[in-house]
Amino acid sequence: MTDQPLLRNLVEPGIVRLTFNRPDKLNALSTPAIRALEHELDAIAVDPAVRVVILTGAGDRAFVAGADIAEYRGNRTEAFAAYQFESRRVFDKLEALPQPTIAAIRGYALGGGFELALCCDLIVCATSARLGLPEGQLGLSPGGGGTQRLTRAVGKIVASDIMLGARRITGERAFQLGLAVEVTADEALTETALARARAMLKIAPRAQTEMKRLIRQGFDAPLPVAQSFEQEVLLRLYSTEDGQEGIEAFLDKRQPEFKGK
């Protein structure tokens, strides 16, 4: 492993993996890690060659076990606030990334690690996964969107149970709650996440981006408004090259050749 806090590698054409790389610290988030993540997200967002992003952690003990609490020491209010605002901006960028994102979780995903996963479109868990928001045990509260994204994902009762008692849930429990789409053996996690990513490569890029946006934005809109968003997107996609290619390929009984146009 290098001393870089975040590693990027092309797994297969179209699929990029970002690996949080501080295994000796359970991949805890630090200011350099947050900045490295923002740099990669900015580059990926404008790169049409990247179709899917998988986030994972180095080693077999953690996805991301939260923030590096050493950075919190000393009651440095201005520095603490700056870090929190910077983290929020980067987490929001992750959620708004045009490409689909998959969090592949092995071991601990606590605090900011769980919040990162909640920004992704899909979560895949290993059986060793342990997820939670234990900030209350530090006399603090989540600050990377956890109180809001978790509540929207599982409802206020379950979110309260997880946060107010600092409960750590298993990968199996995450699957039961609908947080994770699949739970698998630790040794199969990488291939399981890749299988999901490969399936996403079969979808037309523009349609994928638009559906992701509809899911995220429409969820909080009144139903009639969200339906209007949906119909407007469909009509726009119909007139694209990929929209017409998909129709023709279906009728010709062949695989479509999407170009992202």
User: Both 161 and 239 in a single domain?
Assistant: no
Q: What is the pLDDT of residue 1?
A: 54
* Residue among 165, 157, 103 nearest 132 (CA): 165
User: Both 40 and 155 in a single domain?
Assistant: yes
pLDDT in tens, 59-105: 999 999 987 777 787 888 898 899 899 999 999 999 999 999 999 99
Final residue belonging to a domain, choices 183, 200, 217: 200
Catalytic sites, residue numbers = 115, 135
pLDDT in tens, 28-44: 999 999 999 999 999 99
DSSP state of 252: H
Q: What is the pLDDT of residue 72?
A: 80
Residues with pLDDT less than 50, the chain? none
User: Both 81 and 154 in a single domain?
Assistant: yes
**Phi-psi domain of 133 (left: phi exceeds 0; alpha: psi -120 through 50; beta: other):** beta
Residue 234's domain spans which residues? 205-252
Neighbour order of strands in the sheet with 108-110: 62-64, 108-110, 130-132, 169-170
Residue 47 domain-assigned (yes or no): yes
Q: What is the pLDDT of residue 2?
A: 66
pLDDT above 70 as % of the chain: 99
Instruction: Determine the residue type at 43.
Output: A
Residue 226 domain-assigned (yes or no): yes
Q: What is the pLDDT of residue 86?
A: 93
Q: What is the pLDDT of residue 134?
A: 95
* Residue among 92, 86, 96 nearest 30 (CA): 86
User: Both 159 and 213 in a single domain?
Assistant: no
Residue 107 domain-assigned (yes or no): yes
pTM score of the predicted model: 0.94
- What span, in angstroms and rounded, lies between the C-alpha atoms of 96 and 45? 9
